[in-house]
Amino acid sequence: MLYDADVFRAFIEMVGMLALPQEVLSRPGMAERIMKVAADHDVFAVPGPSRADVLGILSYQDAAPGGYRDQRDGHRGQRGGRPA
C-alpha cells in the first residue's frame, strides 16, 4: 500500500466499499503485484500503543480504588463520569 500506487488504489476501493475484494484480486496481475510488494518490504508497524498496552491501561484504571483521579484538577471522581 505504502509502496505501490495501484495497490493503494485497490485498497481504497475495498475500504471505501467501491469494489469487493474478490473483484479487486481477480484483476489481471493484481494478486501477484500485492504479493511482490509485500515480499519486497517489511511489515509496517502502525504508530501508537499496542492492543496489550491499551488493555493494560484500561485494567489499571478499573483497578484504581474509588474511581479515578482527574489529572486536570486533582479531584477524585467516580468511574464513568465527571467529578461531582
- Three-state DSSP state, 17: coil
Question: Mean of the pLDDT values across residues 39-43?
Answer: 90
Tens-place pLDDT, residues 61-77: 555 555 555 555 555 55
What nine digits make up the cell of 62? 478499573
Residue 63 has what pLDDT?
Answer: 55
Q: Inform me whether the pLDDT recorded for 39 exceeds 70.
A: yes
* Cell numbers given for 49: 500503543
Q: What is the pLDDT of residue 19?
A: 97
Residue 35 in grid coordinates: 504479493
Residue 43 is classified by DSSP as P
CA–CA distance, 27 with 45 (Å, rounded to integer): 28
